[in-house]
A and B are shown apart, each in its own frame.
Chain A
Amino acid sequence: MKVSLSWLQDFLETTATVPEISETLSSLGLVVDAVTNPADALRGFIVAEVTAVEPHPDADSLQVCRVETGKETLQVVCGADNPRPGLKVVLASPGITMPGGGPTLRITKIRGVESFGMLCSLSELGLGEDTQGHIFELPAEAPVGKELVDFLNLDDPVFDIDVTPNRGDCFAVQGIARELAAAGLGTLKAAPQEAQEVRGVFPCPVTVSLEFQDHEKEACPHFMGRVIRGVRNGPSPDWLQNKLKAVGVRPVSSLVDITNYMALSYARPMHVFDVDKLGGMQLTVKPASGGESFLALDEREYALTSGMTVICDQDSTGHERIISLAGVMGGETTGCDDNTTTVFLESAYFSPESIAKTGQSLGVLSDARTRFERGVDPAFVEGGLHKATQLILDLCGGEPSDVTSAGMMPDRTQTVPFSVGAMKAYTGVEVEKSQACSYLESLGCRLTTSHEGSFQVQTPSWRHDLTQENDLIEEVLRLKGYDSIPQTPLPPVSPEEFFESKKGARSRQNRLWVSRRALAGLGFCEVMTWSFLKKEEAVLFGGGEPSMVLDNPISQDMSTMRPSLLPGLIRAAGRNQDRGQAHPSLFEVGASYRGPLPEDQKTGVAGVRAGKSGPRHWRDSSDPVSLYTIKEDVISVLESCGLDPDKAQILEGAASYFHPGRSARFCLGPKICLAQFGELHPKVLKELEVSGPVVGFEIFLDALPVSKEGPLKKPLELSPYQPVERDLAFILDQSVSAQTVIQTVKKTERHLITSVEIFDDYRGQGVPAGHKSLGLTFRLEPQDKTLTDEDIHRIMNQVITNVEQATGGTLRS
């Protein structure tokens, strides 16, 4: 909502400065986004008079003017052909910067003739359009030497105020003025609610009926109007045009400008119909049946749905014709123009709900909708009608009919209790009862009954937002100032509250942080990617169900909820590769979505590595990233989250977006999958336009068991006996997994064999085709006696037998 200072002063007697007004509005909750003053750009431009004009000696298109400034006579070269002796012009002197970021003027020689300034055109001043490249001609009475901004009354700051949706009454200059007056920044001028009644001089020829079912009556409870005949429409006077232009509203004609003035001044939207364009003299206000189309004043055709409130007349065949989308926008066919002589002036109350419904479903924005939707003052339907009538009579002449009316004024006032005790309990602020009363009264409230510190408050008809005591508390607090709220320390956390808070999300939350830090420690950088992606990509990663597709996405590339964190990460890796970062390691912690229900949202950690495991270096060969690189990462994160990876099994069956032969899952039993990892499928990489190899993992944090262990650790028993390590190598079929061998070895002597490591995995010369040689070393840690050579020999043999039986392999000799 834009308000100019001069307009505000029509309603408010004040000596406050612009910063004071801005500051006060902000402290009242009416945030001033900006204060602009059109004069700021035009200071220093003065009124001057041309005293002589001669042709430029060297250029046909230029003239050399002598210009009187009141202090001196200057020579100015001008390119326009309208300067003539006696003409009052706008002079810009050297040193002045032209508006809109133009150049700063200097004394220059133009084709050999010195010019000590510039005569300005309207467009150069940013004040309008030029005609035929002429300089701006000021009226003859313009006083030479006067500042242009003073002569044109341009020095009028405009406040751009962010009005919150609960304050329909502040979509009016009057409402803003009322707030400032309540805050002590001046006094309200005459209450316009008591607008002088303008009596009709003939019966109103137009009749209005409200045709609503009982349950729809709320939409338009009250409609008033009158005919004014013999009007002359045309451009409105300068004072009105300037007011509107200052706040960015384009003047149209007197009649339209008056309705805009009513909306902006009083939040009283109105409409004028050209009576000569009406079909019949019987208007009906009713819900649309649906399916109609309507050509509005904005020259757009709207398809109406049932229930939207419309105003109808009759077409030549006697059928109803829609002439207005009530409270939102009038129709093109019955709008006023310069030939209009008889108008029907509408002043009605439309409910916020019905206007919101219509406005939102059609997407129409208008000043009327903005105000009705936020609630206008129902008690000013009649007053507004008279006020606008008077303005029309003043500016357009004519004579008014009697007022026609349908329905009744709805009573939107409420009686709400208020007590200073409740205020203290709710805000911590102590306020004198008398002060609270005066605050509330200054806002238009009436205090009815009262005893002790509490009273009943009747809210004003324009404040639909005041419905309960808290609303009044806020009003008093606003006027007293939020600075009066004390700064009270929070009560301490009780032991019960503390232990309650340790339940629930805590361990899950901790895992998110532990995972992040573990991965950053492993060299991964954390990214945040969108939660939605292209549908095709979602499908590729096992998602893309219809329930996961947005109805109104920003673009098709962001249309579908991600079923996995990997596609976003792979894309990010690709973008980094494109920017010359050849070996990105990225991770993300966050949600992926498998369905619309809360439990379908899974929290996880995913990471990718692309390119090589490290830079080329004298010390390490930098191998391409592999299944094993990423497996290491997964184990690190799982361990950080408190899981013993030895307790998990590695199973096949990672999702199809992984390389089928170079991927696996970490599982607890066949049902619970903790993580999957491996090389990404080349098909996927191609689809996501990334060059491989790329390895990745997903850890399903929700699936990780919550440790039930308390802080108590098991007692430590250290064995005094010497541990022994032994090596063995087996020739095995290639399909035999290392896991099978390791577990077989471990199972042979559960209590003695504490670790099994693979030190060699060899295929090639010396090993039959289709086979591999697996070298392993295992460690025996006796707990109750030193192992004899015999013991060790026996265990070795048992291990060999077990492995051979379990795998069909043989000991490598």
Chain B
Amino acid sequence: MTHLKDLEDLYLKEIQQAEDLQSLEDVRLKALGKQGEVSLLMKSLGKMAPQERQEKGVLYNGLRQGLMQAITDKRASLEAQALEAKLAAETQDATLPVTSRAKGRLHPLSQALFEATSILKEMGFSVAEGPHIEDDFYNFTALNIPPLHPARQEQDTFYFKADASGERKLLRTQTSPVQIRTMLQTEPPIRIIAPGRVFRSDYDQTHTPVFHQIEGLYVDKGIHMGHLKGCLIEFCRRYFDNPRLPVRFRPAYFPFTEPSAEVDIGCSRQGGQLLIGEGGDWLEILGAGMVHHQVLRNGSIDPDVYQGFAFGMGVERMAMLKYGIPDLRSFYEGDLRWLRHYGFGAFNSMMGGQ
């Protein structure tokens, strides 16, 4: 008995003292390997008488089980230690900067276009398009601006040289020709917006020869100026994200609408800072009106049956006001520092700004 106890103590001690997995394995082989001391004891059972075998068998098995358990435990402990040591050796400096992926940006003008068109789409308008290089007819005549009309002079038009047939193409000065093209192509109800580039020969502090407008047109039976007012007040409040934004309509003149209106929003100017929505000042942001009967006729629409409204706004101005961008010309300079500052990330800009 003492012998077995000694044996157990000896091996348990060796197991405890094993410093690594290899020495633990050495101990295991010495005790439990094929020729191991404990294995040999087990083998000796076969030569014993049944009575003895039964007695010894219990003892030897207990010894074997105990050592096996001790080895398993020790192995787990050694493995844990080894892993810990390995991990400790693998430490990385998490403060080391990662590759800073270049931050792409959408142009703030795109963002303004996106926000404005999204709102108008929600209000039932769909997007229509038209060419930039236009005929005199669509840009002027059909919009009730005959050749000698003073309004033509106010829009410094870019012209191309006359072609063989004597026709002189031009760059559209407004998105309004899309009204005519749409009316000629479709039947009422017409509820469209036409965002896009327009061109005027004017380049200074507050004008660029290329800029953007969004045109709106709604023609159907019974559409009146109250609808226009409802539509634009709703639009302005949503766009500037202010449910109480003051909006005012004033009489104005455009050849293609009658009555015509200019739309102002409330603002304040204090210490050179323009704040939208508060204060007693007004800021003009939109032109609008009921589509002139002659313009409807030019679009093959019977003004005795249908009536409607149209509006137009400058997108650069809308962007400048909403995002606080001071200089119009900077929109077209492509300065990366400006774009990174005023631009919008790919997806943080899906709606409503930052």
Contact = CB atoms under 8 A, between A and B. Distances in A.
Interface in B327-341: 331-337, 339-340
A539 interface: no
Given A488-B226, A493-B191, A596 B163 contact: yes
B226 A427 contact: yes
A470 B107 contact: no
Nearest to B159: A551
Interface string A95-121: 000000000000000000000000000
A471 B201 CA distance: 31
Interface stretch (A65-73, A144-152, A250-258, A512-520): A512-520
A525 B218 contact: no
B224 A428 contact: yes
A669 interface: no
B150 interface: yes
Interface in B125-149: 126-133, 148-149
A332 interface: no
A165 interface: yes
Given A483-B248, A531-B210, A581 B107 contact: no
Interface residues of A, number: 102
A738 B185 CA distance: 49
A98 B52 CA distance: 130
A486 B345 contact: no
Contacts of A618: 96
A485 B169 CA distance: 39
B259 A473 contact: yes
B253 A525 contact: no
B127 A505 contact: yes
B249 interface: yes
Interface stretch (B60-68, B228-236, B265-273): B228-236
Given A493-B124, A521-B104, A593 B133 contact: yes
Given A470-B258, A520-B346, A551-B161, A426 B148 contact: no
A350 to B, nearest CB: 13
A354 to B, nearest CB: 9
Nearest to B247: A487
B13 interface: no
Contacts of B148: 352-353, 356-357, 360
A501 B102 contact: no
B201 A552 contact: yes
| B148, B292, B331, B337, most chain A CB atoms within 10 A | B148
Given A516-B110, A521-B346, A601-B132, A509 B127 contact: yes
Contacts of B262: 31
Interface string B248-265: 111111010011111000
Interface stretch (A9-17, A383-391, A456-464, A542-550): A542-550
Contacts of B250: 26-27, 29, 31, 482
B109 interface: yes
B191 A29 contact: no
Interface in A518-556: 518-532, 546-554
A508 B250 CA distance: 37
Interface string B29-47: 0000000000000000000
Given A525-B340, A551-B161, A576-B335, A166 B259 contact: no
Contacts of A164: 252-253
B334 to A, nearest CB: 4
Contact of B339 (A357, A526, A596): A526
A752 interface: no
A745 B255 CA distance: 67
Contacts of B233: 487
A428 B258 CA distance: 14
A509 B133 CA distance: 20
Interface string B87-114: 0000000001111111111110110001
B11 interface: no
B118 to A, nearest CB: 10
A490 interface: yes
Interface in A486-507: 486-494, 497, 500-502, 504-506
A617 B100 CA distance: 9
B158 A524 contact: no
Nearest to A503: B126
B110 to A, nearest CB: 6
A590 B132 CA distance: 11
Given A26-B250, A497-B191, A601-B131, A530 B209 contact: yes
B307 interface: yes
A319 interface: no
Contact of A490 (B97, B124, B131): B124
Contacts of A490: 123-124, 218, 227, 230-231
A374 interface: yes
Interface of A, helix, strand, loop or mixed by DSSP: mixed
A374 B249 contact: no
B293 A29 contact: no
A532 B209 CA distance: 10
A166 B252 CA distance: 10
A531 B197 contact: yes
| B126, B171, B307, most chain A CB atoms within 10 A | B126
Interface in B152-200: 153-154, 158-161, 163, 168-169, 171, 186, 189, 191, 197, 199
B99 to A, nearest CB: 5
A584 interface: yes
Contacts of B110: 516, 526, 589
A614 B101 CA distance: 8
B225 interface: yes
B227 to A, nearest CB: 5
A586 B226 CA distance: 44
A497 B189 CA distance: 7
Contact of B100 (A427, A489, A615): A615
Interface in A325-384: 352-353, 356-357, 360, 373-374
A28 B259 CA distance: 12
B140 to A, nearest CB: 14
B25 interface: no
A517 B347 contact: yes
A474 B289 CA distance: 10
B334 A575 contact: yes
A165 B151 contact: yes
B229 A487 contact: yes
A622 to B, nearest CB: 9
B249 to A, nearest CB: 4
B163 A525 contact: no
Contact of A525 (B130, B161, B259, B343): B343
A531 B160 contact: no
B126 A506 contact: yes
B126 A501 contact: yes
Given A470-B293, A516-B106, A167 B253 contact: yes
A615 B103 CA distance: 12
Interface in A580-599: 581, 583-586, 589-591, 593, 596-598
Given A427-B226, A477-B259, A485-B229, A552 B150 contact: no
A546 B164 CA distance: 12
| B99, B149, B249, B336, most chain A CB atoms within 10 A | B336
A474 B346 contact: no
A528 B229 contact: no
A75 to B, nearest CB: 40
Given A356-B148, A530-B332, 12 more contacts: A426-B290, A426-B307, A497-B189, A505-B127, A516-B346, A517-B106, A524-B104, A531-B197, A553-B201, A554-B209, A579-B336, A615-B99
Q: Considering the complex of A and B, which 8 residue pairs feature the smallest CB-CB distances, nearest first?
A: A428-B226, A29-B251, A523-B102, A501-B126, A164-B253, A488-B226, A572-B334, A520-B104
24 contacts: A29-B251, A164-B252, A165-B151, A167-B253, A425-B224, A427-B226, A428-B227, A482-B249, A486-B226, A487-B229, A487-B233, A504-B128, A505-B127, A505-B129, A522-B104, A525-B105, A526-B104, A546-B161, A547-B160, A550-B160, A579-B335, A593-B133, A614-B99, A617-B99
